[in-house]
Structure 1
Amino acid sequence: MTTSEVLLSHTSNQAKFDWDMKLFPWKNCLTTQNGTSNSRIGRIAGTEYKEMKFGMQLSLLWGEKGLARHAKSWRGPVGLAGKRALVIGNANSSNDIAAHLTPVAQRPVYRSVQHTAFPGFSSLPDEHIEDVAPVQSYDLDTMTNKITAHLENGTIIEDIDQVIVGNEYRPYPSFIHVCTEGQLRPLIKGWKEWAENWVRAGEHDNRAMPSSILQFSILAASKEEHAGGFREEAVKAHLEWGGTYVEWIEEKGLEREDVPDEVCSIEVGEEEQD
């Protein structure tokens, strides 16, 4: 999100675990209007839609009887020759599956859609595919394992052998986790306290950032500690890198600090006259 931030807060007890999500303009994202403390996420770039989401009736048909399947597991119309099939959805997966079924399955192949194709999208009619209304409920004949679909417009389709669901995905943001109190630590020692004091003094809007030299003088020890640990792990995994990677030890640090003055100075000559 480019112009707003997502604020997630949660409350938990033994009975329930709830989330609150609020959108705030970027300039107002640091605090909420009611003062509620929230966990802040700067940006969610994207997520996967790979988790299947079935209704209760379809879950029973799929899990217990194998009479329903999801497009995620579709590998072709094998085993559906001569079968009556109902495809749910009007997106890419559903349309592909319906087309795969027409040469082998009982005709017509039923395609349950919320709406027809959007204007401006090219499409060709297929006499072997029949678009029908959304499904309201299913009945299962346990003697024959045949499904009856009751549509929202009152139509009833009987003797269905297989229901294939081409929609009903739900987002799965596996990269988002709940951070508990005390889980976050400042990446660099001393930086957090210094920054908080700076902001508290009201100087964050009218004071220039410290120079790179000043920043390094404050952060050098922590940077060397971090880089040294990284080098140790890298060389342990690849011994041949030992002669290539810079050594982050105190002696090398002193050498880097002992830079001749002439290296740091820049002579500026007078501009040439035209």
Structure 2
Amino acid sequence: MSLFPWDNLWEMAAWFALFAGLWHYSDQLAISLMERGYLRRKAAWMWLAALSIGLGMFPIIYLGAELLLTEAVNVAGANMPFQGKIISAAVMAFSIVLLISMGRYIKLQEGILYQLILPHWDFDYEDLLSQKTWTVQTVSELNDLNLRLGIGRLAVAALNSSGHVVTLAVRRTNRLRLDPIERFALTYWARLEGSHSLSIWYCADAERPPLESEYTEIETILKVFTENGVEMQSVLFHDGNQIACLHAASSFQPSLRAESDLPLWKAESTGQRA
């Protein structure tokens, strides 16, 4: 005895088709919820999206688990109580759903981030990062990286526990600024890359000190990142002639050294100072 009529092939085919459709539409709902979460900058929508993915695939996975369990019991010639069969199939289905839904959630997140939320950002820097271990903690290294990325670029680096750059997100801009959606989205991007700390550096397209609005922007970024569980390790500003360390976390010991002819200076936390 089971929840579904396994002796009726056509009825079972109908159940599988119904649950497959439910799985498909739950994915579409999850995509809409994720997109709304980014646009409204609310993590609750992300939780709802994850729940939608899991609930949508559970019925068809349970159906498959019960089928396997029923066949196994029949082959063994054993007798399993109705309640025991349901519980066993549910536990099996839950374990499978947990694994599949995690992978599906990550895949959907990546698609939405790269194609819809951060379409103007470039993430294709695997070749550059494979050439050496980047830490962006020395003047010569930062200058080398800026030359490769180009001026007028804002770079966000996801760091590992050793402070090494594991991946980069770069876009062209004329000042150090992130819009509200980008601030929120980059915290999720960092988590997808397995990082909980970020470093930002900006290479200006003109020789100038940081603007007052850029200091204010840094404070806003720090607040958003902290609220979303991501630590800002450092914020560096390069105008082609000078490098400013605008922010350094307490756990980050900057080792910027004047290894080239570029002067190094630190800026105060507020105001336009050199």
TM-score (norm 1): 0.21
Whichever structure has more strand as a proportion of its residues is 1
TM-score under structure 2 length normalisation: 0.21
Which has more helix, going by share of residues?
Answer: 2
